[in-house]
Amino acid sequence: MGTNFHRERFFVFTGMCLGWFLYYFCRKCYVASMPDLTRYMNLDKTDLGTIASSFTILYGVSKFVSGVMSDMFSGKILVSIGLMSSGICCLLFPITNNVIILAMIWGICGYMQGLGWPGCAKILRNWYAPDEITTWWAILSAAGNVGAMVTPITFAYISLYFEWEITFYLTGVTALVTGVFLWLLLSDFPPEDLEKPSAVTDKQEVVGPKKKQHHWYQVLLDLDVWVVSLCYLTLSLIRHCVSDWSQLYFMEEAFFTETEAATCVGMYQAGGVIGTILIGYLSDKLIKQDGDKLREHPRAPAIFLNGVFVIGTLHMLSAVVMPGVSEVLLSILQFIAGGLLEGGTVLVGVAAMDCVAPELTGSSHAMAALFAQIGAFYAGLPFGFITKMIGWSYAFLILESVGVVFILLASYLLIKNYSDIANVAAKKQQ
């Protein structure tokens, strides 16, 4: 019974990991191509930011709409169509140097990319129990980090021997073929002839507040969801600024070559892989051990501490990047930043689902994801404009200020968490 179920689940999860890897590879092709776009197409930072922002705006809209609608549509279809369409956009991107057309193509890519994670989240919810989903959520997220990690390095080395457009073409074809494969492989629910083992059937209990909410719009009335969403916005702003602009930052301020800068940025994603999986595992372990005690925001302490370390890392990045800085030092800082920012993203993402009843987790996460994309938007054109006007050092000082706002928001969740623990303890003593 359990053996067949676990085998089927393994195939489904492996397929999602492959798909999510390619989702990230597609989207990071643009980031990796920034130096070549400035060199061969004469695009400046404002142009690059415009294209990046077109992606993030439509990605955020799509992720919100897909999240709300994911309970009504097949997750398999969302994942497959999104990946195939992203592949087509990669094939079309190198055909022009017109900024408006490039922004349109990459904006469409952003919208189709927004179909991926809501579809994966739906499949995860149906195949995994509440007290194990965060671990597998984190592993799936790590597959995207791996894709983001290898993209700039792959792009840089291919560009040494071939035209930069080749990477877009290869990525597009691979995404198209894989999208068709996932259409055939994935399944929204375990087959009816496979009985779920007790690890899944016996643990379908509520982890978090048991609020009587039955309509998606009620999420808009929940203060906790708004606070978590704002946390997601600030963290996403910092995350995208560090991951998307660091390569150009190192090349302009530390005078690194494209390959050296890409190698350092790759360490960000390596840290993201480890940090994501580690935090996901510890979060599930906390739920299993203390799920009856930590009711509403069990991840609040970790979110708060994460914010403190993020500010410290940002300060180091703004202080040490200068001509002659060690490539090893920047690689270490990027590794730490990746672990904190990508791992923190998992924490906040799951925290958004902790705030509401199980039937509203899709809508709650969709709202938080929309706020995250607002943060990602500000990491595009606005941040590019800021760096152009005041320089990299002051731009990173602004990011540190955003980190302070994140900590203040996390403090609210922390207070609510310990207040809830005290209330539960008081009721047990009565």
- Sequence ranges of the domains in the chain: 2-189+215-429
Is 2-189+215-429 a domain of CATH 2.30.31.70? no
Average pLDDT over residues 266-281: 82
Residue 359: per-residue pLDDT: 67
pLDDT at 98: 85
What's phi and psi for 44, nearest 5 deg? -95, -175
Q: Can you give the pLDDT at residue 422?
A: 58
> Is the distance from CB of 380 to CB of 67 less than 8 angstroms?
no
Residue 158's pLDDT band (boundaries 50, 70, 90)? Answer: confident
Q: Tell me how far apart the terminal alpha carbons of the chain are, to the nearest angstrom.
A: 44
Please, which pLDDT band fits residue 198 given cuts at 50, 70 and 90?
Answer: very low
Q: What is the pLDDT of residues 228-240, one digit of tens each?
A: 999 999 999 999 9
Does position 99 have pLDDT exceeding 50, yes or no? Answer: yes
Instruction: Using alpha carbons, select from 275, 178, 240, 238 the residue that is nearest to residue 31.
Output: 240
At residue 124, the pLDDT reads 84
- More confident: 131 or 35: 35
pLDDT digits (tens, 9 = 90+) for 379-419: 887 888 888 888 888 888 999 999 999 999 999 888 887 77
pLDDT number for residue 107: 92
CA pair distance 395, 410, nearest whole angstrom:
23
Which residue type sits at 384? G
Please state the φ and ψ torsions of residue 295, each to the nearest 5 degrees.
-80, -55
Return the minimum-mean-pLDDT range out of 165-174, 198-207, 211-220, 349-358: 198-207
Res 71 pLDDT > 80: no
* Mean pLDDT score, 341-358: 81
> What would the mean pLDDT of 179-185 be, rounded to a whole number?
91
Does the pLDDT at position 207 exceed 50?
A: no
